[in-house]
Amino acid sequence: MNKKVLVQDLGLKDYKETWDYQEQLFKGTLDLKIRNRREALDLETPNHFLYVEHPHVYTLGKSGDISNLLVDEKVLAAKGATFYKINRGGDITYHGPGQIVGYPILDLDNFFTDIHKYLRFLEEMVILTLAEYGIKSERSPGETGVWLDVGTPFARKICAMGVRASRWVTMHGFALNVNADLGYFDMMIPCGIKGKAVTSLNVELGKKEVDLVEVKQKLLKHFQVLFEAAIIEKTEA
């Protein structure tokens, strides 16, 4: 098993450019797995973890409903936002500045072959990170992601998740609101779930801004423990 994970922080990067890069890494791992099987080889498959912030963008998963986007292209353009239909699970979501987006591109054969466990571990990584800021968060039954005040009229989502997997190789991932402009969530029905609010870490802490680098480090620390991974940081894409 190769539990080394190469971590790259791409900074602020266009959604489509990042998606293409994800696909490149994803395909590289899949091709190597197919070659291993075809040629009876045992070459190590790589594991990646990408951090990124995106300019304002809305993405719709393959099972999503376009009616959950509440505005047209003209309004999006006026707000400086773009829209993409993509190949992850889940419905509609928003990415933008002040949000930490993480894309683990892992060969789960190197860890465990269980997508349910994989999602729960990503959620736990976020839950443990938020706990370090004194925020009690949890899972909401039947709803992927991380929430606050589940089961109350004040339930609100702080982290969305949507993944794709093929031959146990993952892509896409999670989006944690840290200093997010929550006004952009008003232009959609987040994740297709009506009547549920969205929040951000800075709002919950009553701060203008939370240190993004610090949050990323905490997330990575918990990821490393949960996945028993050896982290290797790469400074450039």
Residue with tokens 């539990």: 3
Do residues 96 and 184 lie in contact, with contact meaning Cβ atoms separated by under 8 Å?
A: yes
Binding residues, by number, are: 88-95, 160-162, 173-175
Q: Which of 148, 191, 212, 215 is catalytic?
A: 191
Binding residues for substrate, by number, are: 88-95, 160-162, 173-175
Buried b (16+ CB within 10 A) or exposed e, 101-121: bbbbbbbbbbbeeeeeebbeb
Do residues 184 and 94 lie in contact, with contact meaning Cβ atoms separated by under 8 Å?
A: yes
Q: What single string gives the DSSP state of each residue in 187-236?
A: GB-GGG-TT-EE--HHHHHT-S---HHHHHHHHHHHHHHHTT-EEEEES-
Q: How far apart are CA 188 and CA 177, in angstroms?
A: 16
Residue 96's nearest CA partner among 52, 51, 56, 50 is: 56
Does residue 191 have an active-site annotation?
yes
Bin 90: left if φ > 0, else alpha if -120 < ψ < 50, else beta: left
Residue with tokens 């291993």: 36
Q: How far apart are CA 206 and CA 87, in angstroms?
A: 36
So which residues are the catalytic ones? Answer: 191
